[in-house]
Amino acid sequence: MNAIITASELAGELAGAHPPVLLDVRWQLSTAKAAGAPPFDGRAAYGAGHLPGAVYVDLDRELASAPGASGRHPLPDVAEFGAAMRRAGVSSGRPVVAYDGGQGWAAARAWWLLRWAGHPNVRVLDGGLTAWEGSLSTDVPTPAEGDFAPAPGAADLLDADGAAALARSGVLFDARAGERYRGEVEPIDRVGGHIPGAVSAPTTANVAADGRFLPAGELRARFKGLGAAEDGAVGVYCGSGVSGAHEVLALAVAGIPAALYVGSWSEWSSDPDRPVAVGPDPQ
């Protein structure tokens, strides 16, 4: 099954007899709050115009639990996540398509969580809202309650110890910007740098200028060039398990299974006893 869907393909499915559930997951990583500016408001963006029939999903409140020792976007409570998805109309027997404003990170977080929780048919709109050529709506739908019951464990998940071990035994990709990996800047977390042994693989290099994913063959060549082997284990982390989900999605497009370290650098760096590597060398 494809992990992504084009805007034209989605338009065709929405016009068909069995349209997918649409989740609008607009969100942006923002440091504006520290500067006193208001953060990005995904719900307001949704209210200004969204794909017809789409239901807004709040990444911070419904796709994560409260920030803490487990990172800025820990896994949500399973029961609460299931209830949120059912409110959005999600059922196990109906396809789901998630989209965001175009960056793809937030939609990928919804995709990864639903897959991890056992949903069999979830895709991301390639290019997000900016790729959509149809009309937008300001109507807020009230979908019928879905029947989705989460069964966690369908997608591979790493904790801090597992990520550290994978960096030695397989390949662990760091999806953040290269300067954060090298420790040159760190705008959010306690300290800059990376997990020892991790390989820098910024998620921004997985997409073209329009935000759409590169062709599967190009993605496969990129990841293999960075050390992903045919029969080796692959994992991904980022700052807080959002852009890392986008890299896991890119790997899925390339045909390479990968695990996600949800706690990511925000969890790893919060513990002063965990080692930190800096510079371009993985070690």
Cα 120 vs. chain centroid, distance in angstroms?
17
Residues 6+ apart with CB under 8 A from 92: 118, 119, 120, 147, 148, 149
Instruction: Please state, in angstroms and rounded to a whole number, the distance separating the CA atoms of residues 167 and 173.
Output: 8
DSSP state of 38: P
Instruction: Please state, in angstroms and rounded to a whole number, the distance separating the CA atoms of residues 228 and 207.
Output: 18
Question: Is 238 among the residues known to form the active site?
Answer: yes
Instruction: Please state, in angstroms and rounded to a whole number, the distance separating the CA atoms of residues 93 and 181.
Output: 40
Instruction: Please state, in angstroms and rounded to a whole number, the distance separating the CA atoms of residues 269 and 192.
Output: 8
Catalytic residue among 7, 98, 238, 254: 238
Instruction: Please state, in angstroms and rounded to a whole number, the distance separating the CA atoms of residues 241 and 75.
Output: 9
Taking each continuous run of H as one helix and of E as one strand, the counts in the chain are 10, 10
Query: 148 in the Ramachandran plot: left (φ > 0), alpha (ψ -120 to 50) or beta?
Result: beta
Q: Which residues are catalytic?
A: 238
